[in-house]
Amino acid sequence: MTGRMPSVNGVRTNGVPLSLNSRTFVEALLENGFDTALIGKCHLQNMTGLPRAYTPPSVAKCSKNETGYPDQPTRTALIGGDYESENSIVWRQDENHGLKTPYYGFAHVDLCTLHGDNVGANYAREYADIDSLKGAKNAFDNAEISTPQAWRTAVPENQYPTAYVGQKTIEWIENHQTEKPESPFFLQCSFPDPHHPFTPPGKYWDMYDPDKIELPKNFNKGSSPILDHMRSEYEKGTSNRDTTLPYVVNEKEAREAIALTYGMMTMIDDWIGSIITTLRAQNLIDNTVIIFASDHGDYMADHGIMLKGPIHTQGLIRTPFIWADPKENTCPRLSQLCSAIDIAPSILERSQIRPYYGIQGLSMIDLMLGKKDRHRNTVLIEDDREVIYLGFQEPQRVRTMVSENYRLSMTQPANIFELYDLKNDPDEISNLWHDENCAELKSQQTESLLKLICEMQDWAPLPTGRA
């Protein structure tokens, strides 16, 4: 949304809302005459309504404001009514609660919070009569499916959140063409699925046979302090697998979770097809750039674990990206290192809008047009973890650098280092960090990571003059 790194835009971890003072590329589009809309999940603010997961001991020594909240380094506190926009509890308890628009640049919002068949906000308001069909306690018999966090939802296909997002997107396009056919638009269609809980509705529940699912080549392979801790808890029967945190699965559970995820993905594919059909019917298909992207990947049984967490495997950190431009002759397929922060400046350049100062992303337009053959040599991933889990005694920070052939990750303060040869070990099974034969490689990669971290520091704000 900002084209800036987490340490720079302030959203350094889950639980930190994006400041309403932040500039976003959507806001830039709105200011330049685009109609802007968001249908679906947003998650620019906290949506569970739950208190923060961890309070540092140092907070007890800090000064507090009149409400008892710790004073922050800046006086713009990210709390209060304007930061309750996506709070699922407030949406349920206050029938008048809604979003103030424009919301980070979106002039129209039909909001979805949470996941599976537990989605809330505008979706829950529209389908208030199906509350008795939602959740595991109201679900149909799972039959042979035993994987954690899966239930055969009683919510019909046409009332499931994926259908809601797809239908609302189609309605917005049709209404826009009726009311403002000459106005350019940016429409973000954001599906809560695929995500746990695994609740694909109707025919999508058993569309894929778990017995025919192929497990990852690295299933139950590889070792790290985090993996070893999870496996130990699983073997002792003490692991909590009804959680947002990663957990170990057996082969049957892994195949089932993957099959159900494929069902969720296919339902999304079907609705994307319907949206493209609508663009065609509205004579927009030859004048609309269609972008397909995701926020992150999923372990999906890599190394025998599910969900997502602080282990930066390729399955987690690689995301899909498709850019379909009917007006430009873009390259059919590229294998290049790019970052999620590159999406914002690419959209602005394609829209002929100058970027605001401080965008750290690099436009991918010239790359996609074949005007250059190299985009980035390395990509930096910043991941702050406020939850204490997976054997840790305190919150952790993970910093990862991905290059063409290597992945280097460091987890601090746990002092965990990983170095994988992605060319010869694509499944990331053999950690080279402690290999004496790789001392020079380790030194080179560490130097590159330090330079990259320095490069991605903020050059904003601009000086207002000479000191």
Q: What is the mean pLDDT of residues 403-414?
A: 97
Q: What is the mean pLDDT of residues 309-319?
A: 96
CB contact at 8 A, 198 and 264: yes
Question: For residue range 87-126, what is the model confidence (pLDDT) as tens digits?
Answer: 999 999 999 999 999 999 999 999 999 999 999 999 999 9
Tell me the two tokens of residue 157. Answer: 């296909």
CB contact at 8 A, 395 and 386: yes
Tell me the two tokens of residue 455. Answer: 């490069």
Nearest to 173 by CA among 279, 59, 306, 315: 279
pLDDT of residue 421: 98
Q: Residue 74's pLDDT band (boundaries 50, 70, 90)?
A: confident
User: What is the distance between the alpha carbons of residues 37 and 360, in angstroms, rounded to a whole number?
Assistant: 24
Question: For residue range 169-220, what is the model confidence (pLDDT) as tens digits?
Answer: 999 999 999 999 999 999 999 999 999 999 999 999 999 999 999 999 999 9
Within 10 angstroms of residue 292's Cβ, the number of other Cβ atoms is: 12
User: What is the distance between the alpha carbons of residues 338 and 319, in angstroms, rounded to a whole number?
Assistant: 10
User: What is the distance between the alpha carbons of residues 265 and 23, in angstroms, rounded to a whole number?
Assistant: 32
pLDDT of residue 55: 84
Q: What is the mean pLDDT of residues 313-337?
A: 94
Surface-to-core class of residue 133, CB atoms within 10 Å of its CB (0-12 exposed, 13-18 middle, 19+ buried): middle
Q: Residue 77's pLDDT band (boundaries 50, 70, 90)?
A: confident
pTM, two decimal places:
0.96
CB contact at 8 A, 420 and 407: yes
Nearest to 213 by CA among 158, 167, 259: 259
User: What is the distance between the alpha carbons of residues 146 and 111, in angstroms, rounded to a whole number?
Assistant: 31
Averaged pLDDT score across all residues of the chain = 96
User: What is the distance between the alpha carbons of residues 259 and 261, in angstroms, rounded to a whole number?
Assistant: 5
Please report the beta strands in 283-350, taking only residues with DSSP state E, as ranges in sequence order. Answer: 290-293, 305-306, 321-324
Looking at residue 174, its amino acid is E
User: What is the distance between the alpha carbons of residues 174 and 404, in angstroms, rounded to a whole number?
Assistant: 43
Tell me the two tokens of residue 327. Answer: 């007006």
Question: For residue range 117-153, what is the model confidence (pLDDT) as tens digits?
Answer: 999 999 999 999 999 999 999 999 999 999 999 999 9
Surface-to-core class of residue 313, CB atoms within 10 Å of its CB (0-12 exposed, 13-18 middle, 19+ buried): buried
Tell me the two tokens of residue 70. Answer: 């710790």
Three-state DSSP at 18 gives: coil
Nearest to 160 by CA among 114, 123, 121: 123
pLDDT at 75 over 90: no
Beta pairing class for 406-412 and 396-403 = antiparallel
pLDDT of residue 206: 97
CB contact at 8 A, 246 and 305: yes
User: What is the distance between the alpha carbons of residues 407 and 7, in angstroms, rounded to a whole number?
Assistant: 20
Residue 217 CB contacts under 8 Å (≥ 6 apart), including other chains: 427
User: What is the distance between the alpha carbons of residues 284 and 277, in angstroms, rounded to a whole number?
Assistant: 10
pLDDT at 27 over 90: yes
Q: Residue 69's pLDDT band (boundaries 50, 70, 90)?
A: confident
Please report the beta strands in 102-220, taking only residues with DSSP state E, as ranges in sequence order. Answer: 108-113, 120-121, 185-190
Host H or E run for residue 402: strand 396-403
**Full set of structural domains in the chain with CATH:** 6-455 (3.40.720.10)
pLDDT of residue 56: 84
- Output the CA angle 6-108-95, nearest 5 degrees: 95
Three-state DSSP at 177 gives: helix
Tell me the two tokens of residue 274. Answer: 């319907």
pLDDT at 298 over 90: yes
